[in-house]
Amino acid sequence: MVNVAVLIKQIIDIDQMKTDSEGKPILTGVPYRLENLSKNAIEAAVRIKEKQGGKVTGIIFGTEAGTSAMKESYAMGVDEGILITGYKGSNPQVTAKAILTYLRQIQFDIVILGDQSADSYTGMLPGLISAGLGIPLLGNANKIDIEGKVVRITQVGETENVEMEAEMPVVVSVTQEINEPRLPPVLQIMAAGRKPIRTEKFDGSFSKVSVLSNLAPKSERKRKVFEKVDEGVAEIVKVLKEEVR
C-alpha cells in the first residue's frame, strides 16, 4: 500500500482575467477554478492508489473558496482533504511552510504536486517541500512507476528525457503531459459534496519575506508590415540581433 499526499491549488480563472493600463490583473468578479496541473497531480495520485492500494490525502492552501476545489478533488478520487485558510498571497516560502506544517501530521509515502502553478510560474514549491521534509525530489515527471519501495520517474528535459529513481518517501512534481485527468461521473460528484473537509486556520507569522512583484515583463510589438518577403526576413534578423545585444 502507498499513501499519497497531493498538493492542490485553486486559482482565479486566468482565461477570464483582464489587465489594466499598467499591466496589473483585474481580479474583481473573476471566478476561481481548480488549476490544471493540480488535476494532473490528483490523477497521478489516484492512479497510484488504484494500482497499489492506500489513501490519497489532498492539501489546499488559500481561502475558504478552496472548498469547491476540494470537493472536485474528492469527486476525482481524493479520500481526505485538509483546507488551510487565511492567505490570499502567492509567496512560495509562505506556502511551503504552511503546507509542511500539515504534511508532518499525516502519513505519506509520496508527495505529488504540479511542477509549477499557472498563476505565478515560480516552480519553487517542489524544491521547498523536498528540502523542508529532507527527502528526495523527483521533478518534472511525465511518467511514474513504483516497484516495492522504489519510485521511478521519466523526467522531461530540454533535449532528452531522463529516468530517475529514489526510495520512498519522495516528492514528485508532475508535468501536464503525464496524464489526462478524469471527468468524474455525476454520482461521485454528488457524493463528494457530502464528504467532510478538515479546515485549519493559517498563522500568518510563518514568514517575513514578501513578494514585491510577480508581473510579467511588458512586451511591445514592433507592428511592422513587410510587403516583400526577402526584405522582411532581413529586417527581422536585424531586429533580433539588436534585441540580443
Residues 6 or more apart whose CB falls under 8 angstroms from that of 106 comprise 5, 57, 82
Using 50, 70 and 90 to split pLDDT, how confident is the model at 55?
A: very high
* CA 131/CA 196 separation, integer angstroms: 31
Find the mean pLDDT for residues 119-126.
78
Amino acid in the structure at residue 164:
M
Q: What are the residue ranges of helices labelled H in the chain?
A: 36-52, 66-76, 92-103, 125-133, 186-192, 229-244
Q: CATH top-level class for 4-201?
A: alpha beta
Q: With 70 as the cut, is the pLDDT of residue 15 above it?
A: no
Cell numbers for 87, please give them: 492567505
Q: Say what the pLDDT of residue 117 is.
A: 73
For residue 214, the model assigns a pLDDT of: 59
Helices 36-52 and 66-76, interaxial angle, to 10°? Answer: 40
For residue range 154-186, what is the model confidence (pLDDT) as tens digits? 998 888 889 999 999 999 999 999 999 999 998
Could you give the 3-state DSSP secondary structure of residue 234? helix
pLDDT at 54: 97
pLDDT of res. 6: 98
Q: Can you read off the three cell numbers belonging to residue 34?
A: 481548480
Task: Please provide the average confidence, as pLDDT, over all residues in the chain.
Answer: 86
The closest of 112, 163, 171 to 138, measured between CA atoms, is 171
* Mean predicted confidence (pLDDT) in 109-137: 89
Which pLDDT belongs to residue 17? 63
pTM beyond 0.75? yes
pLDDT of res. 222: 63
C-alpha dist (Å) from residue 1 to 58, 80, 109, 148, 151: 17, 16, 9, 9, 13
Does the structure show a pLDDT above 70 at 27? no
Closest C-alpha to 175, from 139, 205, 215: 139
Question: Given a cut of 70, is residue 207 above it in pLDDT?
Answer: no
